[in-house]
Amino acid sequence: CEIRPGPEYIVRKYHFINDTYFRATQFYYLDSSCTSPFYGLEASGVVKLDKNRVNSGMLPWEQNNYELFMSPLLYQVTVLPYTSEAAVYLQSRVSSVCRYRFGRNREVWRADGVPRDILVYVEYKKSVLMDFDCTEKLGFNLNEFLLLRIEESVESSASGDATAAAAASARKRRQLHLGEIATNMKQRRRHRPSGFQPPLEDANNDPCPGCYPVLHASLKTPPILLLQTLLPDYPTGEWVSSVCESRPRNTYVTRRLVFDNDAEQQWTGTYNNFHDPLCKRPFFSFTATGRVISRDIDEHNPDARQFDFLITGLSITPRDQRSLNQMNTYIGYGCGRTSWRINRTQDVTNTNGCDHLRLHVPTKSE
């Protein structure tokens, strides 16, 4: 169950029929465990590889690590409300764009199991026979297809046995990374991804936790996922990244967060920044320290609580020549007091952080 800005609670099921055609089904929910289906949306169309690639410098990693596609051509988008509230919501959003097709004088939408087309494009012999798109106010598009990456890994036996039998029984695991979406819904249509969303699992992976209900779902039978148990509000303990995390603007990071269980509620965060989506080429690292202040339950996401992270200490470590050159340029101008060296940490608290990296002390983050 993925949580998107808004918030939106969504489950994705994408089927690529060959190198061109696809069918993408998205299920939307009312809760962060995806147990209460709200409505479903199914799109079909084609994607084509962008032969022109991309402007130099936009994606600073090797070309064989990703594929770039042109904007997908959608032939049909169908929507199906699962509740009466969803029917009202969908008709209101859709009719505000296509009054002539779904206006007040038209049929009232109901949760009656009847899918409705909200986008259709039909072309025959280079002539367009039908073309309408009423998806704008739903914030729907598939610009995530503009950037694609497939990762394949081999999972060996739990015992670590290196024998030929163990090697033969090793399982391959494939994951599909698609481009990240805009955090602002109004910008989604023109957003061009430069990072990735959390990956989708290949349905043939074995094991594939949670795949069964999604694999056997359809637009008319949305998957009902297991209710997630919510833990205590304060995240006491040590938490680390399990994968190389993708951020907007070509940023890739691994994190280590430590929360102390004491009256002061101290926290420490170490962020290792990289140039590439595999986190193989280090850029720079920084460690922030401070206090955590618990706030109210989030009004938009009742399953979450807001926190203020007060940052009172900061140290930075350059990891390559590029970061070293950049930080040495700004010595005495808000980024350290002495010369920088690769893999040597410098405390920049006394210079109020590092302006060049947009890291400031003291500061507050939510």
Output the DSSP codes for 199-254. PEEPTT-SS-TTHHHHHT-BTTB---PPPPPPPPSS--EEEE-SSPEEETTTEEEE
Does 361 fall in a domain? yes
Contact 4, 181 (CB under 8 A): yes
- 8 shares a domain with 89: yes
Q: Whole-model pTM?
A: 0.83
Q: Kindly give the residue spans of alpha helices, DSSP state H, lying in 48-123.
A: 84-95, 99-102
Residues 6+ apart with CB under 8 A from 182: 188, 191
- 193 shares a domain with 81: yes
- Our count of domains for the chain comes to 2
Does 223 fall in a domain? no
Strands 73-81 and 37-46, bridge-based pairing: antiparallel
- 202 shares a domain with 88: yes
- 163 shares a domain with 46: yes
Contact 69, 47 (CB under 8 A): yes
- 80 shares a domain with 29: yes
- 6 shares a domain with 153: yes
The parent domain of residue 264 ranges over: 237-365
Does 230 fall in a domain? no
- 151 shares a domain with 268: no
Does 228 fall in a domain? no
Per-residue pLDDT of the chain (366 residues; tens, 9 = 90+): 999 888 899 999 999 988 789 999 999 999 989 999 999 999 999 988 766 554 333 444 444 455 666 788 999 999 999 999 999 999 999 999 988 888 666 778 899 889 999 999 998 888 888 899 999 999 898 999 988 888 887 766 555 555 555 554 567 888 888 988 888 888 888 888 888 888 999 988 887 877 889 999 999 999 999 887 776 677 889 999 988 898 877 789 999 999 988 777 899 999 999 998 889 999 999 999 999 888 777 777 777 778 888 999 999 999 999 999 988 887 766 788 888 999 999 999 988 888 888 888 888 776
